[in-house]
A and B are shown apart, each in its own frame.
Chain A
Amino acid sequence: MDRTRIEDPWGRRTPFARGHMWPERVDEYFTDGVRAEDVQEWVPAASILDSNGDAMDIAVMDGRMVGVRGRATDRVNRGRLDIKSLHGWESGSSRDRLTTPMVREGGELVPTDWDTAMGRVVERCRRELESKGPRAISFYTSGQLFAEEYYTLTTIARAGIGTDHLDGNTRLCTATAGEALKETFGSDGQPASYADIDHADVIALFGHNVAETQPVLWMRILDRLAGEDPPRLLVVDPRRTVVAEHATVHLAPRPGTNLALLNALLHEVIERDHVDHAFVEEHTVGYGTLADEVADCTPEWAAQVCGLEATDIVAAAELVGGAERLLATVLQGVYQSHQATATAVQVNNLVLLRGMLARPGCGVLQMNGQPTAENTRECGADGDLPAFRNWQNDEHIRQLAEIWNVDMMQVPHHSPPTHVMEMFHHMQEGTITFLWISATNPAVSLPELARIRSILSDENLFVVVQDIFPTETTALADVVLPAAGWGEKTGTFTNTDRTVHLTERAVDPPGQARPDLDIFLDFAARMELTDRDGGPLVTWHDPESAFEAWKRCSAGRPCDYSGMSYDLLRERGGIQWPCTEERPDGTERLYEDGGFWAAPALCETYGRDLVTGASVQPTDYKALNPHGKAVLKGATYLPPHEEPDDEYPMYLTTGRTIYHFHTRTKTGRAPELNDAAPRVWVELSETDATEIGVAEGDRVQVSTPRGAMRGEVRLGDCRPGVAFVPFHYGYWDTDHPTGPPSEADGRAANETTVTDWDPVSKQPMFKLGVARIEKVTS
């Protein structure tokens, strides 16, 4: 079945009617020669190769993984697996796993033992702390670790070291989702649930290529489309994706103009009075200001700005305006583009104006990019504070200080925690001199790679990298720590719709590789981090005790885990938070009782200016929203900072393919996935290809003011004037594994992307650059 699944990634349809239960369909894959009945042990897990959190079981024989099977009873996937989950696990046994710690000696990384490697890390960390203080120390983590690991890292960084320089790769994929939810609902937390797919009559997808980014969720939509009373889709994407092909209305706006389009949709909803006034009156503040903001944003105006037909915008507005049960979803097309948070907030506004919240089939899913992104947000490993606490609220800081038994002054809360792009700025100016990277690959994933490589190579910066494979980033490290991978360690993680799964150790990690949690615990012990009574700061010792510690931290907050346990997760499979004594089965939809976490004493943020990112002061927020309603916050469209010109006549947008995850370090080592998409490509419309004088398969160079990369032309359905390059490809599997020796060898999309980000969420702008594309003749 695997061959056909590579060709038909969404597999067989199991149609179902609106409001009915999504039928089961169990997907499985075994290595050659293994049959299901041979399997000695099935170990529960969930997929960490996208943000859907598909439940599965790992097949084990003689101490090794031999296959996987989707779990039929789980609410998220009802047995289905996407192709990355079916095949990606094979990379775990690839021969180039990191199996020993390494330290840099005379410019070269040489194998060593844990004592030596950790000794160096601790010695250097202590030295920087003593000479420069905690602000010289920084941590950059992942969207792929477990909640237990993030919470431990957060405790170490915030309460132990006392630095505010801790962020995750989730900054690149989910920061806007979190920020948009905070701006509207006062606190992070996904309002809707995947089950809302089953009930919606209109699904509006904004910059969300669900078919490739969350294939199992797309299977659910496809099954509804194939069943009785199917939903109608509104798709906003500059490419005619597979999703767009199923749309009732597809809008392909000019890159950088999402906010103009959203404002026009809001304008129409108000103009045609599709507003649920009773809901708006009872549950929101700010309607008047929002209505003023969009008063002039007619479809004709937006059509000009976005390069669309006004009639199509009206059709889109009628679709969402006439919906009985509207579900809106948002992903990178919004999050990684211009005015990201401002736009994502307007999607929330659309749902609120229509009164589409907290009922089956209604709501908004501000999607996550990475599989465990939700946990970096919850656990405070991404520039938030644990359990959605507010850095401007002293009572919240007091709670944290009490939980950690440290002085309040020890927990940095003088300004929002530092985001990764700002951390790299401080490294560049020389005020951060210690960086510990865990489970991510910034030398391929961050924008403007030449700059990133130069910062990471600076000899004044001490770089520790913890990973499972050699990467472009480990190549620049001073110390490399080999970590255990998925199926080799135990922990929990939470998907986009708040579903928590336990994923357990099925096999031993190779060589000396250790679970990330053990590495962090070892560091805390060697650093002798203590609480205010002189006892150890980190009081837990394994995944389950770390989970119990995290539960205590989460109690009483929106992401309350206190009703969960490892045993319950083993017994029940996925459970959605909040899960408490009063709600032992978890919570399918937030805000069903009409209350938000937006009251001044409760909220995670008082908000930011949607254009400048300036923090709103507590007094202003209290005046605006004393009763903790949802906030309707408008924003003015601004032109992007960079637009095509004679030198760089095209827009460039980067993105994903279904066959790969992140920087391909795992999926590029799974033969089936690698073979399905082995090389980077440059997708062009036929119009542009003709203009440039290239045909399918020709080699082109993409040049921007930042750098260049090369790839093969693939003719696609991009909006004319827009080129698309997948961001997954780097250098570890080329002749120059650390980076391109010249521009002609560039193949990472991020050689070309701009160092610019949304001022509110600080999420970099990977979807909006300008480029020149030329045929490579030599």
Chain B
Amino acid sequence: MKAGLEYALTKLHQGENKVAEHLQVMLARHPSDHEVHHVAIDLLRWSRENVRQLADAAAGYDVQLSAEAGQPSAEEALARAATVEEVTPLTLLDDVRTLYLLAAETSLDWEMLAQHAQAAREADLLQLSKKRHPQTQRQMKWANTMLKVRSPQTLASMD
């Protein structure tokens, strides 16, 4: 049972870290897209909190996970943000798609953990999932809304 739990926790922890990293890159890449920028700050706080709470919970099962979201440093984030040659409205659509997909993976990992917790009667983990999984789902919903709002303008304006 321990191996399964470790697998689920580690996988989810990785997923939350990826979401956090991607949000960090989005923040660096779209500083003047205010609709994105400010909400991304709040979304990033959720991911970091999820990572912290996961690490706390994992420690109780002797699974060692970092409590700090594996966030890139400000310089790293800027460097990664700069991997896109020119930030266009299309870049934002791409970034929002990526966020949705990363959050969707992570959401599945929360499901996996919750199912395992339920089967293994681990009430604490189930409670954790109930409390924190919704934030991941809300990240997906926001990405979905942003894609809906932005894609008509962006695609209609492409040369």
On A, residues with C-beta under 8 Å from B are 132-133, 135-136, 414-416, 421-422, 425-426, 428-431, 609, 611-615, 638, 641, 755-757, 759
Look across to chain A and name the residue whose beta carbon is closest to the beta carbon of B43.
A612
With the chains together, A612 CA to B146 CA distance in Å? 10
User: Using Cβ atoms and an 8 Å threshold, which residues of chain A touch B43?
Assistant: 612
Given A425-B33, A431-B89, A638-B45 in contact, is the A415-B38 Cβ separation under 8 Å?
no
Are A431 and B153 within 8 A (Cβ)? yes
CB of B141 within 8 A of CB of A641, answer no
- Whether the Cβ atoms of A756 and B34 lie closer than 8 Å is yes
Q: Is the CB of B153 within 8 A of A641?
A: no
Residues of B within 8 A of A614 (CB): 138, 141-142, 144-145
Q: How far is the CA of A759 from the CA of B41 in the complex (A)?
A: 12
Apart from A614-B142, A615-B148: 12 A-B pairs, beta carbons within 8 A: A133-B156, A136-B157, A422-B149, A425-B33, A426-B153, A431-B89, A431-B154, A609-B138, A611-B42, A615-B141, A638-B45, A757-B38
B152 in the interface, Cβ–Cβ < 8 Å?
yes
Whether the Cβ atoms of A757 and B148 lie closer than 8 Å is no
Query: Per a CB cutoff under 8 Å, which of A135, A416, A613, A615 touches B153?
Result: A135
Most buried by A among B43, B142, B153: B153
Tell me, yes or no, whether B35 is within 8 Å of chain A by CB. Answer: yes
Tell me the bound Cα distance from A612 to B42 in angstroms.
8
Chain B hits for A430, CB < 8 A: 157
List B contacts of A135 (CB < 8 A).
Answer: 152-153, 156-157
Minimal beta-carbon separation of A226 from chain B (angstroms):
45
Question: B79 in the interface, Cβ–Cβ < 8 Å?
Answer: no
Q: Are B33 and A609 in contact (CB under 8 A)?
A: no
Residues of B within 8 A of A (CB): 32-35, 38-39, 41-43, 45, 89, 138-139, 141-142, 144-145, 148-149, 152-154, 156-157
Given contacts A135-B157, A611-B138, contact A421 B34 (CB under 8 A): yes
Q: List 30 A-B contacts (CB under 8 A).
A: A132-B156, A133-B156, A135-B157, A414-B148, A415-B149, A416-B149, A421-B34, A422-B35, A425-B35, A429-B89, A431-B89, A431-B153, A431-B154, A609-B138, A609-B142, A611-B42, A612-B43, A612-B138, A612-B141, A612-B142, A612-B145, A613-B145, A614-B142, A615-B141, A638-B45, A641-B38, A641-B41, A755-B34, A756-B34, A759-B38
Quick check: B157 and A132 within 8 Å, CB to CB?
yes
Residues on A with beta carbons closer than 8 Å to the beta carbon of B39? 612-613, 759
Interface-centre pick from B144, B149, B156 (highest chain A CB count, 10 A):
B149
**Residues in chain A near residue B148, CB distance under 8 A:** 414-415, 615
**Do residues B152 and A414 form an inter-chain contact, with CB atoms below 8 A?**
yes
* Residues on the B chain within 8 Å of A133, using CB: 156
A421–B35 touching, CB < 8 Å: yes
Say whether A609 contacts B141, CB under 8 Å: yes
**Majority SS of interface residues in chain B?**
helix
Residues of B within 8 A of A757 (CB): 34, 38
Query: What is the distance, in angstroms, from B14's C-beta to the closest C-beta of chain A?
Result: 23
Select one of A415, A421, A611, A755 contacting B152, CB under 8 A: A415
Set of chain B residues within 8 Å of A755, measured between Cβ atoms = 34
Provide the bound-state CA to CA distance between A430 and B153, in Å: 11
A615 and B144 alpha carbons, distance in the complex (Å): 9
Nearest residue in B to A165 (C-beta to C-beta)? B153
List chain A residues, Cβ under 8 A from B33: 425
Bound-state Cα–Cα, A755 to B36, Å: 12
Minimal Cβ-Cβ distance residue in B for A759: B39
Kindly list chain B residues whose C-beta atoms are within 8 Å of the C-beta of A426: 153
CA distance A641 to B139 in the complex (A): 18
**CA–CA, A453 to B52, complex, Å?**
44
Known: A613-B39, A613-B145, A615-B145. A425 touches B156 (CB 8 A): no
* 4 nearest CB pairs, A to B: A614-B141, A612-B142, A431-B157, A614-B145
Name B134's closest neighbour in chain A (CB-CB). Answer: A609
C-alpha gap A415/B42 in the complex (Å): 23
Residues of the A chain whose Cβ atoms lie less than 8 Å from the Cβ of B38: 641, 756-757, 759
Contacts of A613 in B (CB 8 A): 39, 142, 145
* Residues in chain A near residue B144, CB distance under 8 A: 614
- Residue in chain B with minimal CB distance to A133: B156
Q: Which residue of B lies closest to A764 (CB)?
A: B34
How far does the Cβ of B155 sit from chain A's closest Cβ, in whole Å? 10
Which partner residue on chain B sits nearest A756 by CB separation? B38
Report Cα–Cα, A586/B101, bound state, in Å. Answer: 51
Complex: A234 Cα to B156 Cα, angstroms: 51
Given the complex, which residues of A lie within 8 Å of B139, measured CB to CB?
612
Write out the residue numbers on chain B whose beta carbons fall within 8 Å of the beta carbon of A429. 89
- Which residue from chain B places its CB closest to the CB of A431 in the assembled complex? B157
Q: How far is the CA of A415 from the CA of B35 in the complex (A)?
A: 15
Contacts of A756 in B (CB 8 A): 34, 38
Residue of A nearest to B145 (CB): A614
Considering the chains assembled together, what is the distance between the CA atoms of A67 and B32 in angstroms? Answer: 49
Q: Residue on B with the closest CB to A419?
A: B35
Distance, CA A614 to CA B140, complexed state (A): 9
- B44: min CB distance to chain A, Å: 11
Closest Cβ of chain B: how far from A616's Cβ, in Å? 8
Cα separation A638 to B40 with both chains bound (whole Å): 13
Residues of B within 8 A of A615 (CB): 141, 145, 148
Most chain B beta-carbon neighbours within 10 Å: one of A415, A421, A422, A614: A614
Instruction: Tell whether, in the assembled complex, residue A638 and residue B141 are in contact, meaning their CB atoms are under 8 Å apart.
Output: no
Is the CB–CB distance between B157 and A638 below 8 Å?
Answer: no
Which A residues touch B35, using CB under 8 A?
421-422, 425
CB distance from A239 to the nearest CB of B (A): 26
Residues on the A chain within 8 Å of B145, using CB: 612-615
Taking the closest CB of chain B, its distance from the CB of A750, in whole angstroms, is 15
CB distance from A432 to the nearest CB of B (A): 8
Which residues from chain B contact A421 at a C-beta distance below 8 Å? 34-35
Complex CA gap A19/B144 in Å reads 51
Q: Which residues of B contact A136 (CB under 8 A)?
A: 157
Nearest CB on B from A757, distance (A): 7
Decide if A638 touches B42 in the complex (CB within 8 Å).
Answer: yes
User: How far, in whole Å, are A421 and B144 apart by their CA atoms in the complex?
Assistant: 20
Residues of B within 8 A of A612 (CB): 39, 42-43, 138-139, 141-142, 145
Could you tell me the distance in whole angstroms from the C-beta of A633 to the nearest C-beta in chain B? 14
User: How far is the CB of B152 from the nearest CB of chain A, in Å?
Assistant: 6
Q: Which of B32, B33, B156, B157 is the most central at the interface, judged by chain A CB atoms within 10 Å of its CB?
A: B157
Residues in A whose Cβ lies below 8 Å from that of B142: 609, 612-614
A571 nearest CB across to chain B (Å): 46
A380 to B46, CA, bound (A): 35
Q: B49 to nearest A CB, angstroms? A: 11
**Cα of A614 to Cα of B147 in the assembled complex, Å:** 11
**Smallest distance from the beta carbon of A523 to chain B beta carbons, Å?**
23
**Which residue of chain B lies nearest to A755 when distances are taken between CB atoms in the complex?**
B34
| CA distance in complex: A416, B146 (Å) | 11
